[in-house]
Amino acid sequence: MKKSDIGLVGLAVMGENLAINLEAKGYRVSLYNRLHPHTPQAVDRFLASQDEGKAFCPTYSLQELVDSLERPRKILLMIRAGEPVDETLAALQPLLEKGDIVIDGGNSHYLDTRRRQKALREAGIYLVGCGISGGEEGALHGPSIMPSGDEAVAGTILPMLQAIAAHLDDGTPCCAWIGPDSSGHLVKTIHNGIEYGDMQLIAEIYSLLKIKLHNDHEAMAHTFEVWNQGVLESYLTGITPIILRYRDSDGQYLLDRIADRARQKGTGKWSVEAALDSATPLEVTTQAVFARFLSAREQERARMHRLYPNADLSPIDELDTDELHHALYAAKIMAYAQGFDLLYQISRLNDWHLDLSTLATIWRKGCIIRSRFLREIATVYRQTGSYEPLLFTPYFREKISLCLPSWRKVTGAALRSGVAVPALAAALTAFDSWRCAQSPANLIQAQRDYFGAHLYERTDAPEGVLFHTDWDHPANAPHPSQPAPEQ
């Protein structure tokens, strides 16, 4: 029997669509899904939905899957992150041989991927941590793909992955070798963190539009539709009018019947953890994650609404849609700027040498955060010889400066009106924190030295020289601040 080019484990929607995509690009695909008692076999169900003559090979055990593949074997895992990946790898490892390649295409934590790569490397097996973005539509028609690991296997798997990826108008595939180690999964995690922030910002502007336009769905949809023709053009902006206009079976707007509890699968939280681990500010994503946490506490929110009624709050009629547009654009720039800064900082700490221009390029099509200004981000990083935060660059400095008055006005109006805009406000506060040449952190250092002798630096002494003061004695007393002894 003819051997398959690749094996695919996991036939949920993403796995199914990637299988169809691979076969359509000329690859023979072996299929496997764990057996679940009392349910139809997923492989049989999938094959029944496909035309006859397709280059699919059904298998019903991991041994059968492995035996059906050309060497070096290539197996793509499209299964839930965490224990299922560990369990599957543990079952696969004894069946594989030196030089075989396993591609984890799920949203695995990059530290888990690093651990698994090390364990499999000892057996001569390669594990590729591969971020895949685009949802079920992207999986079928072309996602953005972010593989990483031992570069020795890049030439073996890149042609296949680039074949199924989205392509820009000039033919550039939205797939590139990200770097060593588990960098591909880290990049996908930060991609999702930016996605969290982007979605939360759109939701907050929708909240303001809803009040201003008196919940007129058509008017709100038209506004987002117009915005999607300009600098705010993106996948997320583009789907918003469709959602706003969608009517339930009885003709009522479906959106008004969707419970306001936003779920998550962990990548947003992991982005925040990565920011904490690398000492990198990530306010927009962090507030977006917290907003999802709070959305789940529906009963408490309802009680707070009763305890603190919206009395004597300012109206937001003063805002126009252009100002809302500018505020959203500026805050989105901030969300992306923080995401790319986090990518750079983690890359530096791990010595990965991530190419930020390449990342912006492969995110321009196929992925959830694809947007018009990713082209500008790619251009900025391609032209810049050394890293600078996006807000330092002339292009984005000009855009922020133009939008800043509206950004401040909209945020202030929302706060005065009692409309929660945690991500919008966090983005503006983060911006002002960056431009604060003299922060109040000197008082924090003084307090820390007062109660814990944590030491501080002085503006009139070289950086790195530490001081401690006996704060219970005035400076002209016999115990002035003194340089701390070396530790």
- Domain holding 352, by residue range, is 188-214+266-427
- Contact between 33 and 13 under an 8 Å Cβ cutoff? The reply is no
Domain contains 258: no
The CATH code of the domain that includes 475 is 1.20.5.320
pLDDT (tens digit per residue) in 198-228: 999 999 999 999 998 889 999 999 999 999 9
- Give the residue from 123, 157, 181 where a domain finishes: 181
Same domain for 174 and 43: yes
- Enumerate helices (H) and strands (E) in the chain, giving the number of each: 19, 9
Same domain for 160 and 17: yes
Q: Which of 16, 23, 74, 195 is catalytic?
A: 195
Residue 312 pLDDT:
59
d(CA 34, CA 30): 14
The CATH code of the domain that includes 387 is 1.10.1040.10
Please give the single-letter amino acid code of residue 100: D
Same domain for 450 and 413: no
d(CA 200, CA 206): 10
Domain contains 209: yes
Domain contains 226: no
* Residue ranges, the chain, pLDDT below 70: 37-40, 311-313, 476-487
Number of compact structural domains in the chain: 3
Active site residue 204: no
Active site residue 269: no
Note the Cα 426 to chain centre separation in Å: 17
- Give the residue from 385, 403, 427 where a domain finishes: 427
Residue 281 pLDDT:
97
Same domain for 194 and 175: no
Residue 36 pLDDT:
72
The answer, as to whether pTM is greater than 0.85, is: yes
d(CA 139, CA 141): 6
Domain contains 373: yes
Same domain for 352 and 327: yes
The CATH code of the domain that includes 92 is 3.40.50.720
Domain contains 254: no
Q: Which of 188, 212, 332, 365 is catalytic?
A: 188
Same domain for 272 and 177: no
pLDDT (tens digit per residue) in 157-204: 999 999 999 999 999 999 999 999 999 999 999 999 999 999 999 999
Same domain for 417 and 322: yes
> What residues form DSSP beta bridges with 29?
6, 56
Domain contains 242: no
Same domain for 208 and 93: no
Same domain for 472 and 392: no
Same domain for 282 and 405: yes
Cβ neighbours for 388, distance < 8 A, ≥ 6 positions apart? none
Provide φ and ψ at 468, rounded to 5°.
Answer: -135, 140
Residue 385 pLDDT:
74
Same domain for 196 and 305: yes
Residue 487 pLDDT:
47
Same domain for 142 and 31: yes
d(CA 149, CA 127): 7
Residue 478 pLDDT:
42
Residue 1 pLDDT:
74
